[in-house]
Structure 1
Amino acid sequence: MSDTGKSQGSPDPEKLVETSSVGTSSDSPAPVDPTLEKAWRKIDMWVLPVVAMFYLLSFLDRTNLGNARVAGLQKDLKMTNKQYSIALTVTYVPYIVAELPSNLLLKTVGPNLMLPTMLTLWGVVTTLQGVVKTYHGLLACRFFLGLLEGGVFPGLVLYLSFFYPRQRLQWRISGFFSTASISGAFSGLLAFAIINMNGVGNRPGWAWIFILEGLFTVLFGVSSYFTLPRSPAHARFLTAKEKEYVIAQLKETGATGLDEDSDKFSWREVGRAFMLPQVWMLAVIFFLDGTLVYALAYFTPSIVQGLGYTAARAQLFSVPPFAAAFVVTMVAAYISDRYHCRGYVSIFSGILCIIGFAMYLASHSFKVKYGSLFFTISGAYCAAPSLSTWGANNAAPHTRRATAIAIGFIMTNSGGILATWLLGSLSAPPLYTKATITLLVFSVVMVIVTAMNLYYLWDQNKKKAEIRATTTRSDEQPGLGDRSAWFIYNL
């Protein structure tokens, strides 16, 4: 439903925002009311499917170039492997540049306006990729695709943090990020079906991959103007009591997006985000996992084809590993939210990657190499939502959190640039041995740095507990955000 206008009997949204000051936590915990807990299910039903579809289409429209390559795009446009890597890289440069400004503008413009606009416009660009005749035309499309998609993932993470308390967040983030796994599976199935349209309208099969997927994105983008609420206070599917209850629970956990004074934009808060040790340790992990995710997203069809499958069967056989990754991601997200263990889930994800890449390198059997993809894809995709939630959980207030999230995704997509060259032209197909060794090392380093960040946050919580034992909250200076002794870091 649209969030324009006010439902009958609902309180004024702006008044709700003004009276819900945000802090690191409240002095007296907000009571849990079983009769109002259904509000979370309502948000799940109204918000989460839209957000999930946003990210599915984002990942699908960005990575379907890998399917188009196997379907003949590189041959038809007379591209070398180096030029293919350049086409992928061109996407990420504007993508990275757009992430921080986009996140800082999200609350001001309104996510209910900004996110649908981005989606609709990149759908148009995706469609245009299906009519390009030259390599340079493809480069132009990839540039604008990156520019328009740049703010989507950090924006969606920030947007969900407006609706869910910290301990409820990862399962929801995983709910939409797992669509990346689905898109990997879905794009293979879709490409397998669409390439049979080869010759329809005098266009090759790879062109129809872009055209059909792009047109659907445009249609969904337009419809989302009417389905995406700006905030809990503006959600017409919630009753007045449910709105008050949700906002009280968000205030209790130091959620952002509720209070104009503490959440207003400040360059000082942007700078403070860059000074947080946990942000930079996570940034390193984001870079490493980003390299893994995009290497597998773009090159799994090519890897499978290199194991002896035809182009059509390579599309089909790329589906099962991504389907498995979806299941692993959702189970890990449930455990992470249930037991509050973001860091341990990230370490588990890295170990899965280590096992998978080691299998791929050690075995001469193509069947074992194919089986290793179930470990590597599951590990890489399982880590991403855990890291995203970890970053969102441990930075406050709003501007600091928005900046921290954007830093993480800037690093993720920097890893994407490396991935495009690592497998695109710096490592020889079909086995990509040098690239696999590099990704194995990255997986090991990811586990080590994750453990370092986990220890740092545990140590900070220990020091904060000592401060709370000897002082009162009134003695603490305001505006500390996540540095407050009353802000407990999520492990």
Structure 2
Amino acid sequence: MSTVKDVSKDSLHSTEKVADTDSSGTSSIHGAEAAVFEKRVWWKLDLSVLGVITMFYLLSWLDRTNLGNARVAGLQKDLKLTNDQYSIALTVTFVPYIIAELPSNLLLKVVGPDRLLPTLLTLWGIVTTLQGVIHNYAGLLACRFFLGLLEGGVLPGLVLYLSLFYPREHLQKRVSAVFASSSLAGAFSGLLAAGIMEMSGKGGRPGWAWIFILEGLFTVIFGVFTFFVLPSSPSRCSLLSEKEKEYVIQRLREDGAISKDDRADAFSWGEVLRAFQLPQVWFSLFIFFFHGTILYSLSYFAPSIIQGLGYTANQAQLMSVPPYAAAFVCTLVLSYIADKYHCRGAVVMFCGTCCVVGFAMFLSSHNHAVQYGSLFLTLSGINTGAPTITTWTANNTAPHVRRASAIAVVCMFTNIGGILSTWLLGSLSAPPRYTKATAVLLAFAVGLTLFAAINTAYLYYQNKKKAEIRATITKEDEPAGLGDRSAWFEYIL
């Protein structure tokens, strides 16, 4: 049987020494050889898990936000919807979405992520496809309700799932890869919609209907495929050897990502409640609410905003691609910085500042080129902030049930912000300037930046207190079951 030991740790980025005892005796690897071993382990996990999960979120984002592309393609006109009815259709998606998030995340470990996540993916793909055959407003509302109900557990579930495979210092790069797919989805949705609109009239259906049908069918096919490839845990990952599985599990335990005592990760309503007692979670609720309002406002209405600048429907679909492509690059670059320098709060503040500048440009200028250029700042800022704030929450809560609850509840506030976004640009602010909505989003960008600073300061202060405690007691003197409140659990800033 093999054992894995971490023998040198300057920081979270340490060089490990891996010792393996087999039937022939004990051999050890260290230095460059250990670094190669570690890279191979994470590469195998990325191959087994990350690619699939990234596609999960890309399809989730595409199927949730393609209503904006369908609107530009003629859905609102064909179904004879008022602006209020369109906003209600968007709102109906968020209500069951919010309700489903916490129960789904608590069920993830019980049912098994390899069963629950593919099931949700396949079913919401079916609902997306059905949106292509609706003929009236009632049919649209029914589809949006069930889409929200099935997708509600996806985002918090994916983040929680990744936290079961990667220690904290490796987590944001993976979460960022997943969230970067939303930027790709935003870019691809414009390209796909522009191409699919050419099918208008085929089979007697308009172009907007084919957007739902084709994108939904692909989701269904991929969902069925994931039943056969998604591992439930590192110990069930077929690409890893036994030694590599033990190494991953040991790293997760040393990092506090999973508990050394499996009983600490068992379900407890007490741990659910403790998630609501953490100040960093409360600060995050404001961050997520502001972030969600901005994110969904831009995601659902970017094609309409661009069309309001004087472009045709097809041009607006294509013109939405460059800002999302820039957001994709920014997400990867800044996430690498956040992981390397452990500066999640600073990255969130930078992203918030980008949004402040972008909205100020859109609000103050009447030049269409400047207004279009502002989308590069706002979309890059808000899309880059998404993986950072989500990883920040996952990094700083433990054990499992407390983390699952915290991730779910902050994501709920993202979607409460989403509800507000459907009315800000849908009914309460007139195109093409969207003056009232832009002013609100500007204020929210300021609030996002401010609460990111407050949360960073709080975590810094708590780490100082924990260091003082560690200087006076030993780990054995500390009560068990403290999770992230332990003096030996250092918060990531």
TM range (shorter): over 0.9
Aligned to 2:378: 376
Q: Does 1:281 align with 2:286?
A: no
- Aligned to 2:300, which of 285, 298, 301? 298
**Superposed CA offset, 1:428-466 (max 9, x none):** 111111100100000011111110000000000000000
Q: Which runs of 5+ in 1 are unaligned?
A: 1-9, 17-24
Q: Does 1:438 align with 2:426?
A: no
**Superposed CA offset, 1:264-319 (max 9, x none):** 00000000000000001011100000111100000000000000000000000011
Q: Distance in 2 between matches of 1:110 and 1:250?
A: 19
Aligned to 2:366: 364
| Runs of 4+ residues deviating >4 angstroms | none
Aligned to 2:60: 58
Cα offset for 1:34? 2.3
SS at match of 2:410: helix
Q: Distance in 1 between matches of 2:188 and 2:95?
A: 26
8 Å CA contact retained: 2:15, 2:35: no
% identity of equivalent residues: 66
Aligned to 1:145: 147
Q: Distance in 1 between matches of 2:77 and 2:107?
A: 41
8 Å CA contact retained: 2:234, 2:249: yes
Query: Normalization by structure 2: what TM-score?
Result: 0.93
Aligned to 2:47: 45
Cα offset for 1:255? 0.9
Cα offset for 1:371? 0.3
Aligned to 1:455: 457
Aligned to 1:316: 318
8 Å CA contact retained: 1:30, 1:249: no
SS at match of 1:34: helix
Cα offset for 1:252? 1.0
Cα offset for 1:36? 2.3
Q: Distance in 2 between matches of 1:277 and 1:377?
A: 29
Aligned to 1:20: none
- Aligned to 1:334, which of 333, 336, 339? 336
Q: How does 1:152-191 map to 2 (within 5 A)?
A: 152-191=154-193
**Matched residues, number:** 469
Change (3 A) 1:158 1:94: same
8 Å CA contact retained: 2:253, 2:259: no
SS at match of 1:156: helix
Aligned to 1:401: 403
Q: Distance in 2 between matches of 1:442 and 1:407?
A: 19
Change (3 A) 1:194 1:254: same
Aligned to 1:36: 37
Q: Distance in 1 between matches of 2:139 and 2:36?
A: 56
What one-letter code is carried by the residue in structure 1 that aligns with 2:250? A
- Aligned to 1:123, which of 99, 106, 125? 125
Q: Distance in 1 between matches of 2:197 and 2:382?
A: 28
Q: Distance in 1 between matches of 2:129 and 2:261?
A: 40
Mean CA deviation greater in 42-51 or 58-67 = 42-51
**Superposed CA offset, 1:62-100 (max 9, x none):** 000000000000000000000000000000000000000
8 Å CA contact retained: 1:107, 1:257: no
Cα offset for 1:478? 0.2
SS at match of 1:36: helix
- Aligned to 1:214, which of 210, 213, 216? 216
Cα offset for 1:257? 7.5
Q: Distance in 2 between matches of 1:441 and 1:485?
A: 37
Q: How does 1:187-202 map to 2 (within 5 A)?
A: 187-202=189-204
What one-letter code is carried by the residue in structure 2 that aligns with 1:43? L
Q: Distance in 1 between matches of 2:417 and 2:447?
A: 14
Q: Which runs of 5+ in 2 are unaligned?
A: 4-10, 19-33
Aligned to 2:75: 73
Aligned-residue Cα RMSD (Å) equals 1.6
Aligned to 1:474: 476
Query: Normalization by structure 1: what TM-score?
Result: 0.94
**Superposed CA offset, 1:316-362 (max 9, x none):** 00110000000000000000000111100000000110110011111
Aligned to 1:5: none
SS at match of 1:255: coil
Cα offset for 1:256? 2.7
Which protein, 1 or 2, shows the higher relative CO under an 8 Å CA cutoff with sep ≥ 6? Answer: 1
Q: Distance in 2 between matches of 1:53 and 1:34?
A: 29
Q: Distance in 2 between matches of 1:318 and 1:347?
A: 25
8 Å CA contact retained: 1:162, 1:257: no
